[in-house]
């Protein structure tokens, strides 16, 4: 069963999750409730050209995506150890979370898991401080995101 390119709808409550970041620390969506908006970026695979390019663009303009009011969380179905090497190699200063086991559970909860490929689709969800999805877009596996689109959505919160 392949997932459509829709994902969860704007106005939906974002599913709670707790995943390990690249350092093995637990990161939960609920830990930001009431204090920060969250930009959840699903990437298909670490170390691939498009995914690396997207996260490097965020790294290079991090203050537009992560500040006192907003937290960036990147998620893929790769293992914590892969995420650690990926984040260290590229110098990411935001959590890179492992949706590894149960494999793709968070991507499935957000309705963007691609069963045929075993990875998350390229989904972006902006979640407000109350846990509601305020903006969402899901791109195909090879279709890069437009950072300007979700920078504008963050600014509108």
CA–CA dist 46, 115 (Å, integer): 18
Q: What is the enclosing helix (H) or strand (E) of 80?
A: helix 80-90
Render pLDDT for 115-146 as a digit per residue (tens, 0 to 9): 999 999 999 999 999 999 999 999 888 887 77
CATH superfamily of 18-155: Glutaredoxin (3.40.30.10)
Q: What is the pLDDT at residue 6?
A: 72
Closest alpha carbon to 101 in 72, 131, 80, 82: 80
CA–CA dist 53, 55 (Å, integer): 6
Q: What are the sequence ranges of the domains in the chain?
A: 18-155
What single DSSP character describes residue 77? S
Q: What is the pLDDT at residue 4?
A: 45
Render pLDDT for 12-42 as a digit per residue (tens, 0 to 9): 999 999 999 999 999 999 999 999 999 999 9
Instruction: Tell me whether residue 77 is one of the annotated catalytic residues.
Output: no
Catalytic residue among 51, 56, 77, 119: 51
Render pLDDT for 59-107 as a digit per residue (tens, 0 to 9): 998 888 889 999 999 999 999 999 999 999 999 999 999 999 999 999 9
Banded pLDDT at 2 (limits 50, 70, 90): very low
């Amino acid at each position: 069963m392949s997932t459509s390119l829709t994902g969860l709808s704007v106005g939906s409550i974002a599913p709670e999750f707790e995943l390990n970041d690249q350092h093995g620390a637990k990161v939960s969506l609920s830990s930001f409730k009431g204090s920060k908006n969250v930009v959840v970026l699903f990437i298909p695979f670490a170390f691939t050209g498009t995914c690396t390019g997207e996260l490097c663009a965020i790294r290079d303009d991090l203050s537009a995506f992560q500040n006192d009011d907003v937290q960036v969380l990147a998620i893929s179905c790769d293992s914590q150890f892969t995420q650690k090497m990926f984040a260290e190699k590229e110098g990411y200063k935001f959590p890179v979370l492992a949706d590894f086991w149960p494999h793709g559970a968070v991507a499935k909860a957000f309705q963007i898991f691609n069963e045929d490929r075993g990875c998350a689709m390229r989904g972006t969800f902006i979640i407000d401080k109350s846990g509601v999805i305020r903006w969402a877009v899901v791109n195909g596996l090879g279709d890069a995101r437009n950072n300007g689109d979700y920078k504008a959505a963050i600014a509108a919160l």
